[in-house]
Amino acid sequence: MTETITHDVLIIGSGIAGLRAAIEASRASHGKLSIGVVSKVHAMRSHSVCAQGGTGAVLHTDRGDSLEAHIFDTIKGSDYLADQDAVERLVSLAPSEIYQLEHWGMPWSRESDGRLAQRAFGGHGFPRATFAGDRVGFYEMQTLYDTCLRYSNIEFYHEWFVTGLLVDKEGFRGATAIELRTGDFYAFKAKAGIIATGGAGRLYSFATYSHSSTADGLAMAYRAGIPLKDMEFIQFHPTGLVPSGVLITEGARGDGGILVNKEGERFMKKYAPEKLELGPRDIVARAIAREIKEGHGFRDASGLEYVHLDLRHLGAEKIKERLSEIREVCIQLRGIDPIDQPIPVRYVCHFTMGGVHANIDGATPVKGLWAAGEAACISVNGANRLGTNSTATCLVWGGITGHSAAEYAMQHHSADFPQQTVTSEEKRIYDSIFRGAGTENPYDVKQELERTMDEHANVFRTGEGLGEALKRIRVLKHRAYQHVEDTAREFNTNLTNVLELQSMLEVAEIVLMGAHARTESRGAHFRLDFPKRDDQQWLKHTLAYLTPDGPKLDYCPVTITRYQPKERTY
């Protein structure tokens, strides 16, 4: 019989969203509930520690910023696909999250008079990226993790890999997981749950994401009957360092960095004459892709083409003070110092706008189960996220879902979970995969998956390419995850990589189907064969459901409150 661990609230994922949720669940229950936080990596190695440039919030209304302006910038940035009520909630609650973090010890960067400093970011009409040098994610995570440790009713399961959700017709019941240290299989039983497992960017080879961002939580939700929403919208950040793909924060352009092509031309004046390098990411990424396509890029020894991000005119002092991490990254990974040399950059996979279908409260269609952070599609990002709005979203909906999950758990009794699902999950993992047979190398399959996504579901897409990619992914789905070579139980990364690959293939198919069906261009989804936005047909969210015949697409309306869609110019 599988060993069972019981909590009142189970949080899957310990990035900014998961940690913020844990604190709020603990506070809302006045320490009465037991809260389990499960993470496949140590909490402080969660992808969120990579966030660099800032968290968006309106703080300086006396200087001209306003909630209204942040709301409008976000909706326009989303190419009008964001749910406007959700954006309004994000923007109204983000400032209090900044001050809350401050009270928990966050070392925000400051101006000389002690005010919190804010820098400019793409698509924002006012500098509202609240930052801590260029290590905002690391400091936010440190602050949240330290705060969690003060609550004795929050228990961490570091390096436990969740394999599936336990859901019955009444609602959420728990999850199954492997303790990586021993390889043992457990069932978690809980009254309420929160999926906070982050994005799916490792579907691509050139990505800013941590290697742990493999879509597990999205696939778990999908397998449990929850639709995934707007998955075709994958963000490509304009400035990934060549050839590693490590991010060079948009804060570098916010602080004055410029983009230059092989001819020495500051090309953004052709694409976003007013905002230039501070246009939204979809537009700047496409501009770089066009420059490269038209032969204005440089070529790296790796074969990757790129343009230059030039910071030299900012001066050594500013670079050292405000952009010290990216300077170190350039020196360590590329052997160049941005004080003296331009940085080679190109567009890079960076963010998943879609995710687990959730309403404005972060509630999924399964009772007792919420989703927060990048894993959730509450729809504040629509077709293109503005930089700094993700960490803000993680904080705001971490708080909202933590509170709601705690309230729910206090009002409900613990129910038995579906033992049959636990048994079949254990069989799937240990009988079919761990003791399975086959010759296929999962790492080759993963590389083929990445190549397919890089080639056909990138900045520019076509119906033909997406159709071809779908065929390839369906073949890969049948070839993959039959067995593992490594039969040790302790820290068997071969096994977890195979499980991750299964999730990635499932989610890739949904990305491709949504992109293939959407015969328009909106935000980050640009179809060369349908280059215009088509509000008549496509001002709607995509929902992908699992059926016995594979994924099935459906659609639901976008919530428009104050801003009717208009042409987007910058």
Q: Does 130 bind ligand FAD (CB under 6 A)?
A: no
Interface residue with ligand FAD among 16, 35, 75, 369 (CB under 6 A) is 16
Annotated catalytic, 357?
Answer: no
Q: Does 53 bind ligand FAD (CB under 6 A)?
A: yes
Q: Does 50 bind ligand FAD (CB under 6 A)?
A: yes
Interface residue with ligand FAD among 25, 28, 221, 247 (CB under 6 A) is 247
Question: To the nearest 5 percent, what fractions of the chain are helix, strand and coil?
Answer: 40, 20, 40
Which C-beta is closer to ligand FAD: that of 241 or that of 409?
241
Own/partner contacts of 440-443, CB < 8 Å, gap of 24 or more, are 440/479, 440/480, 440/482, 440/483, 442/480, 442/481, 442/484, 442/494, 442/497, 442/498, 442/501, 443/497
Which range binds ligand FAD by CB under 6 A, 44-52, 253-261, 456-464, 473-481?
Answer: 44-52
Q: Does 221 bind ligand FAD (CB under 6 A)?
A: no
Q: Does 196 bind ligand FAD (CB under 6 A)?
A: yes
> If we measure between CA atoms, which residue out of 169, 165, 227 comes closest to residue 197?
165
Q: Distance between alpha carbon 465 and the CA centroid of its chain, in Å?
A: 25
Beta strand pairing call for 184-189 and 550-557? unpaired
Is 158 exposed, middle or buried, given 0-12, 13-18 or 19+ CB atoms closer than 10 A? Answer: middle
Distance between CA atoms of 362 and 88, rounded to whole angstroms? Answer: 14
Q: Does 137 bind ligand FAD (CB under 6 A)?
A: yes
Which range binds ligand FAD by CB under 6 A, 51-59, 84-92, 144-152, 255-263?
Answer: 51-59
CB of 496 to ligand FAD, least distance (A): 8
Q: Which residues pair with 352 in a beta bridge?
A: 234
Interface residue with ligand FAD among 5, 17, 218, 504 (CB under 6 A) is 17
Which range binds ligand FAD by CB under 6 A, 39-47, 84-92, 106-114, 525-533?
Answer: 39-47
Annotated catalytic, 253?
Answer: yes
Which C-beta is closer to ligand FAD: that of 10 or that of 314?
10
Which C-beta is closer to ligand FAD: that of 134 or that of 520?
134
Interface residue with ligand FAD among 33, 162, 349, 369 (CB under 6 A) is 162
Q: What tokens appear for 397 in the block?
A: 């909906």
Q: What tokens appear for 556 in the block?
A: 């639901």
Cα angle value 503/508/511 (rounded, 5°):
130
Catalytic residue among 89, 253, 385, 428: 253
Q: Does 544 bind ligand FAD (CB under 6 A)?
A: no
b/e 516-554 (16+ beta carbons within 10 angstroms → b): bebebbbbbbbbeebeebebeebbebbbbbbeeeebebe
Q: Which residues contact 210 (CB under 8 A, 6 or more apart)?
A: 45, 46, 47, 50
Site string for ligand FAD, 390-429 (x = CB under 6 A): xx--x-----------------------------------
Binding site for ligand FAD (CB under 6 A): 12-18, 38-41, 46-48, 50-55, 136-137, 161-162, 196-199, 208-209, 212-213, 216-217, 247, 350-351, 373-375, 388-391, 394
